[in-house]
Amino acid sequence: MIERLAIYPGSFDPPTNGHLDVVKRAAQLFDKVIVAVANNGAKQPMFTAQERVELLTECCAEISNVEVDYFSGLLYQEARKLGAAAVVRGLRAVSDFEWEFQMALMNRELDRNCETVFLMPSPKYSFVSSTMIKEISAYGGDISSFVPECVMNALKNRIKKEVEV
């Protein structure tokens, strides 16, 4: 039987419950899902790629057909290297669509086999973003309903360290 593999790429800086919701949905649709942390130099992340991989690995430990890794370079090349049948991306709201549509079409232009599948997380996560989580956490706000516990602890520790230096 052919194994249908999907790649779910993202910055995941840090992973949120919205991301995990998408991972779970993808894991039901595909035989195997590789959650791929982008290690591209363009953004200045709060967590290193290795730290994000570790957090995601802990968050996804219960889902047997999910693996976590990181990649550098172009997504379509990584998808091709893994033999992925699809790229999975989450769509929280219509506002996400324009950029995601452009990215999906560009990736398919670069490799005509690179198909993107959009999955909608639960509406209860439609307003959750990693950027907001970092800001709320930095100012001591309660993020417990938006991120897994390990992410909450990692954020607390990181912010404590930043205050100390």
Residues catalogued as catalytic: 19, 43, 92, 130
Give the whole-angstrom CA distance, residue 130 versus residue 124.
15
Sequence-separated (6 or more) residues with CB below 8 Å from residue 67: 32, 33, 34, 35
**Which one, 103 or 136, has the nearer CB to ligand PNS?**
103
Contact 44, 110 (CB under 8 A): no
Minimum CB–partner distance for residue 110 and ligand PNS (Å): 7
Which residues lie closer than 8 Å to 126 by C-beta, 6 or more apart?
Answer: 18, 92, 93
φ and ψ of 85, to 5 deg: -80, -25
What does the binding site for ligand PNS look like in residue numbers (CB under 6 A)? 9-11, 38, 40, 74-75, 103, 106-107
CB of 165: closest distance to ligand PNS in angstroms? 27
Nearer to ligand PNS, 11 or 137 (CB): 11
Q: What is the closest distance, in whole angstroms, from the C-beta atom of residue 133 to ligand PNS in the complex?
A: 13
Q: Which is nearer to ligand PNS, 43 or 161 (CB)?
A: 43
